[in-house]
Amino acid sequence: MAVSAQIGTSINRRFHTFQNGVKIGVANPKDDQHVNLIVHPRYKDNVERYMQVVRSIAMRENAGQLASRLVMLERMLLDPMTSTHAALELEAIGKDSIPVLEKGMKSPDPEIRFYSAEALAYLDYRDAAAPLAEAARDEPAFRAYALAALSAMDHFAAYDALRGLLDLPSNETRYGAFRALWAMNDRDALVRGEKLGEQFNLHVIDSLGPPLVHVTRSYRPEVVLFGQDQRLTTPFVLEAGKDIMLTAKDDRVTVSRFKPNQPDQKRVVSTRLEDCLKAIVDLGGTYPDVVQTLQAAKAKGVLTGRFAIDAVPSGGRRYDRGAGGLAKAEAASDEDSSAATKRDGTSADGDEDESEPAGTAGVVVANPLPGLFDRGQKTLDKDGGADASRKRAAEGEPASGSGEKSSDKGSEDAKKPRSKRSWLGTIK
């Protein structure tokens, strides 16, 4: 137990949480081979990074050794070839590393600036918000990691930065910012939305960017409307599943439900998209029915704004150090709002895949993809959903119902494939 106890002591010097209002360490040595960890609330949406940071904590280090290591890590941080590893070790050191990371955040090199700001965000350092917002806006390779880091911060500067990203042209940047804000505080009025028919959430976002409708196949069933007064263009006839039909000739939409051996039902609403979706659900429509309607509306030109499915920031993209990233190519595709509509109703400006073509030169960001943007992850759970998961993390309990995470199993857990259940059934 001596080694496990030493490991636990070192981890608990760096991380603590609160359980029933009592401050406790996150590490609990069990035996010579196992140290159980509570997931620190700041890493609830990026557990793999948490495990990397924990493994980077020094076990035995006096003040002189720490000072020498900080000098070495500063040199490594200011070199793009080693900055990612140095930033992770500096994050593991904690607040004593902030002066070094501040120097990195002021570097003219975008890569060094990003890695430094990312580490500072997990130390909840306010000034990290601006460079992370810049990275999310300008560099697709850094976007998922920058947005996740912003969502982990408690400062208003991070909230304000994410709020500003909702107005950008890029579909995945806007939706990624929305998801980050929801992870930060799902009760905030901006992103709270409303539950429709106990099936999915509808969110209407006050955004200055191009009108956008976003739906998800996984993570959580939701429809996000970027733009408060999106309307369908009449005339039209649309189906919502087998039993519901929407018809319109002027500024009123009739939503009708026809089912054998049951009385016909009808709702008359405005052409506002929000009203039409609520009427579908009010007549018994499901989430796949709603998505089918949106796809058909886009394909027929009835929905004139953008429509996107799972426009989620991705990992594994390459960053071209010589060319300063991929932002120019991305901007060109984002602004082409006149592109043809795909068969599934998703417009070509939907940013579904902003990754670079195969064979493109550059370096891949080495960080693990945050769970916040894992396309296969489903956060709702039997113990009360995402809200319950956050509450357990805040109170210092294990992040999932399966028990505490053991430090010797972190890499194995990361390799396990996640189930990829689709909320949309057979819709492709």
Does 254 map to a domain?
yes
What average pLDDT does the structure give for the chain? Answer: 83
pLDDT at residue 362, as a whole number = 77
Residue 68 within any structural domain of the chain: no
In a domain, 313, yes or no: no
Q: What is the pLDDT of residue 392?
A: 45
Strands 212-215 and 222-226: antiparallel
pLDDT tens for residues 27-71?
Answer: 999 888 889 999 999 999 999 999 999 999 998 899 999 999 999
156 in any annotated domain: no
Asked if the structure places residue 117 within a domain, the reply is: no
Distance of CA 339 to the CA centre of its chain: 27
Would you say residue 281 lies in a domain? yes
The total of structural domains in the chain comes to 1
**Which residue from 212, 208, 207, 203 is spatially nearest to 172, judged by alpha carbons?**
212
Residue 276 lies in a domain: yes
Q: Which long-range contacts (CB under 8 A, 24 or more apart) does 223-230 make?
A: 223/277, 223/290, 223/291, 223/294, 224/175, 224/178, 224/193, 225/273, 225/274, 226/166, 226/174, 226/178, 227/305, 228/204, 229/272, 230/272, 230/273, 230/274, 230/303, 230/305
SS3 258: coil
Q: Is residue 292 part of a domain?
A: yes
Q: Which residue has the tokens 């996150």?
A: 26
Digit-coded pLDDT (tens) for 265-290: 999 999 999 999 999 999 999 999 99
**Is residue 335 predicted with pLDDT exceeding 80?**
no
pLDDT band at 332 (very low <50, low <70, confident <90, very high): very low
- How far apart (Å, rounded) are the C-alpha atoms in residues 70 and 141? 28
| Residue 284: domain span | 236-304
pLDDT in the model for residue 405: 39
pTM of the model: 0.82
pLDDT at 218: 84
Model confidence at 295: pLDDT above 90: yes
Residue 253 reports pLDDT greater than 70: yes
* Per-residue model confidence as pLDDT tens digits over 66-112: 999 999 999 999 999 999 999 999 999 999 999 999 999 999 999 99
